[in-house]
Amino acid sequence: MKVTIYWKTKHLDPKDIPRIKKKIRDKFNIPDYTTVNGETPCDIKEEDMELLRETEKRGFIQIRNK
Convert the pLDDT of each residue in 2-33 to its tens digit.
999 999 988 888 999 999 999 999 999 999 99
Domain encompassing residue 32? 2-64
Please name which of 34, 43, 56, 39 lies closest in space to residue 1, comparing C-alpha atoms: 43
Residues 36-49: tens digit of each pLDDT: 999 999 999 999 99
User: Assign residue 48 a region: left if phi > 0, alpha if psi is -120 to 50, beta otherwise?
Assistant: alpha
Total domains in the chain come to 1
Q: What is the pLDDT of residue 48?
A: 96
For residue 13, give every residue at least 6 positions away whose Cβ sits within 8 Å of its Cβ, in sequence order, or none: none
CB 61 within 8 A of CB 8: yes
pTM of the full structure? 0.88
